[in-house]
Amino acid sequence: MITDPPLLTIRSTFPRPSRVVVEALRGVPTGHLVDAMDGRGCLDHRIRPLLPEKSSLIGVALTCHAGPADNLAVFAALDAAQPGDVIVAATDAFTKTAVTGDLLLGMARNLGVAGFVTDGLVRDLAGIEAVGLPVYCAGLTANSPTRSGPGTVGFPIVLGDVAIASGDILVGDRDGVVIVPQAIAGAVLARLPAIRTAERELEEKVRGGLGVPDFVRSILASDRTRRVD
């Protein structure tokens, strides 16, 4: 590298979904959302709710790339945050230091931030419990980061094996966090009624004693199954 990069590169203006669309996704099970996106969209299984009782999450992504062992970009995201945003902090899945603790999260709560998601670690569990924000992370450590940069705010990131852009919608529950890209949010909403109906009908069959579903029996009875016993 010939010259040092800027400590921070920030894009604070980006398209945001309407509150109507965001609220329409509130409370939707993450499994239904994944089914509406052809089986994809959930972050890596290691990114879990820190507090199971605070696993309900809904908000608009405000992305930042902090990089390993640093959280300058997360502090910068506070300045760009709007009420209802979820700060999404990529650390390149670094697990030697925390990317945030209770004090930064308390500042985020004071600004109306709806939650925090990272592929890294956090610290100050007791303090985070008191703050009360939903936090999804890969675990805990007492080790602290630096605030040296470089970092970015508002640019696309990859976190938990999923591409995320600022303005996408995050929905979290005890099964994990699902990213609904802003560009397809309307299509996802349109598919949900059929998914709810199919889920409800199958649940009723299971309660009624269903063992092997019809689609499996059809495959078992077809020439697509080879029996060797």
What residue segments make up the domains of the chain, in order of their start? 8-183
- Confidence band for 224, pLDDT divided at 50, 70 and 90: very high
Phi, psi torsion values for 36, nearest 5 degrees:
-75, -10
Residue among 44, 31, 13 nearest 158 (CA): 44
State how far the Cα of 189 lies from the Cα of 107, in Å rounded to an integer: 33
Q: Token digits for 123?
A: 């610290």
26-48 pLDDT, tens per residue?
999 999 999 999 999 999 999 99
- Confidence band for 3, pLDDT divided at 50, 70 and 90: confident
pLDDT at 1 over 80: no
One-character DSSP codes across 121-161: EE--HHHHHHH---EEES-B-S---B----EEESS-EEETT
Is the whole model's pTM more than 0.85, yes or no?
A: yes
CATH 3.50.30.40 fits 8-183, yes or no: yes
